[in-house]
Amino acid sequence: MTSRDHVQTFLSEHRQATRRHFLAMGAAGALASQRLSWLHVDAAETSNDTLRQAIEEIEPWLTPQEEFRDVSRGKPKPHSLSPEQRADVGLTRETWKLEVISDKEHPATLGKPLSREADKALDFAGLMELAKTKSVRFPKVMTCLNIGCPLGMGIWEGVPMRDVLWLTQPQENLRRVFYYGFHNDDEQQMFRSSLPVGRVLEDVRGLPPVILCYKLNGQWLTPERGGPVRVVVPEAYGFKSIKWLSHLMLSNISHANDTYAEKNNDVDSDLKTFCATLAVPRKVSAGEPIPVTGWAQAGISGLKKVQIWVQQRSEKWPDDDPYFQQAPWRDAELLPFPADWGEALEEVDSQALLRTTQGFSSSTGQPSQWPLPLGKAHWAALHPGLPAGEYILRCRTIDANGAAQPLPRPFRKSGHAAIEMTRIQVT
């Protein structure tokens, strides 16, 4: 077989396997989970051993809570406090309190502020009371605007922020909500984010609500992830999802006052669509097909496909094509959702959880579409063999509007989306 045939065979077998998997989903879902978690096929069914192995080694789709990468500020970091100290400062479920009050500088008119002063702050029991009828769950990738890869992919559960906001009986002069968490009672350490009140009150473009989150992957939010309660904003970069939440400020301020704005960040930027590799062989033999795997983030404009391109290192590229739009990109294969949700849901009833998660079917517990919006997906490709030499492998996403990474919003401070480069040596 030529390397081209290999790709074709792999892809067609993969598609068949995927189709079989989708057909089998209802009745034989349990059976599928006995198989390789990414391929949905028995090991013998793929044509290229190294590609098969690379796919088997892809990270789990859901990140166990303790394996998220951490972006926490504070001296000391709030999650590093002892259990007693956390209890003292309101960072346990037993002692947590949330104030929902008017901003003194730009007051909103509230009938019933939830203030500590009036002993009306919301406690965890009060939040759980709301959760009985209001709680929602949705999958979301947590990504830092300034870091080149997602911090983790999870299923986040919480009470819509609007349901807490309405408890204050707001009347007028309410244009934005800003919020912050425990910061060692030191103004200098405060990390704050904000949203237009409209985003809190109304879910547009099919987005899940902004939530006060208390569970991740079916388990209580850990101190490191921002427990007992953090904000999660589905379409936003991580800096909008404030951890160790203590204050919601209802304000008539007309503009964003996020801490992240101070460092030249574009605080109105929604998640971008972009990708990178997970496994690329550094050295391969001449003529041998090159297996590549990676992840992709479906941002606010969705994810249509991933492409790769291998260029000779010595090749000069025209200055007027900085995003390599004219390069001979070739399509990679987006992998279907895993047959096995893995370690992250091991300790919960994953079927019950997923059937009541937005984006998943309430009858099968499987994703209703793939890739899931604002989630991660994985991909694989088998690049045809190459003559000996030094090469650069690049990968890029095409979003659902047809824009190729790093477009449509290529600027660094609206979120990392640079095209990744990896060296390959062919000998």
Smallest separation, CB 189 to ligand MTE (Å): 9
Q: Do 282 and 210 touch, CB atoms closer than 8 A?
A: no
Q: How far apart are the first and last CA of the chain?
A: 21
Q: Which is nearer to Mo ion, 142 or 174 (CB)?
A: 142
Burial of 20 (0-12, 13-18, 19+ CB in 10 A): middle
Picked from Mo ion, ligand MTE, none, the partner binding residue 70 (CB below 5 to 8 A depending on kind) is: ligand MTE
User: Which among ligand MTE, Mo ion, none contacts residue 151 (Cβ within 5 to 8 A by kind)?
Assistant: ligand MTE
**Shortest separation between residue 70's beta carbon and Mo ion, angstroms:** 10
Position closest to ligand MTE via CB: 238
Q: Which residues neighbour 284 within 8 Å (Cβ) at sequence distance 6 or greater?
A: 290, 385, 386, 424, 425, 426, 427
- Nearer Cβ to Mo ion (158/238): 238
Instruction: Please identify the residue of the shown chain whose CB is closest to the bound Mo ion.
Output: 144
- Binding site partner of 87, from ligand MTE, Mo ion, none, Cβ cut-off 5-8 A by kind: none
Of these partners, ligand MTE, Mo ion, none, which one is at the site of residue 175 (CB under 5 to 8 Å by kind)?
none
Query: Do residues 231 and 240 make contact, with C-beta atoms less than 8 angstroms apart?
Result: yes
* Cα angle for residues 22, 23, 28 (degrees, 5° grid): 95
Stretch near Mo ion under the rule CB under 5 A, chosen from 33-41, 148-156, 234-242, 291-299: 234-242
* DSSP annotation string for 41-55: S-GGG-S-HHHHHHH
Q: What is the DSSP string of 55-105?
A: HHTSPPSSPPGGGS------SS-GGGS-HHHHHHTT-STTT-EEEEEE-SS
Residue with smaller CB distance to ligand MTE, 75 or 313 = 75
Q: Which of 126, 152, 223, 238 binds Mo ion (CB under 5 A)?
A: 238
Binding to Mo ion in span 89-108, by CB under 5 A: none
Measured from the CB atom, is 120 or 413 closer to Mo ion?
Answer: 413
Contact map string, positions 135 to 174, toward Mo ion, x by CB under 5 A: ---------x------------------------------
SS3 content of the chain, % helix, strand, coil (to 5): 25, 30, 50
Q: How far is the CB of 151 from Mo ion (least distance, A)?
A: 8
Rounded to whole angstroms, the Cα distance separating 114 from 120 reads 5
Q: Can you tell me whether residue 240 is helix, strand or coil?
A: helix
Task: Identify the burial level of 92 via C-beta atoms within 10 angstroms of its C-beta, where 0-12 means exposed, 13-18 middle and 19 or more buried.
Answer: middle
Beta carbons of 396 and 307 less than 8 angstroms apart: yes
Tell me the two tokens of residue 284.
Answer: 């391969």
Q: How far is the CB of 267 from Mo ion (least distance, A)?
A: 11
Summarize as ranges the residues that interact with ligand MTE (CB under 6 A).
68-73, 142, 144, 151-152, 181, 191, 225-226, 238-239, 241-244
Site for Mo ion in 47-76 (CB under 5 A): 71
Q: H or E stretch including 109?
A: strand 109-110
239 lines the binding site for Mo ion (CB under 5 A): yes
348 binds, among Mo ion, ligand MTE, none (CB under 5 to 8 A by kind): none
Binding-site partner at residue 242 among Mo ion, ligand MTE, none, CB < 5 to 8 Å by type: ligand MTE
- In the complex, the residues that contact Mo ion under the rule CB under 5 A are 71, 144, 238-239
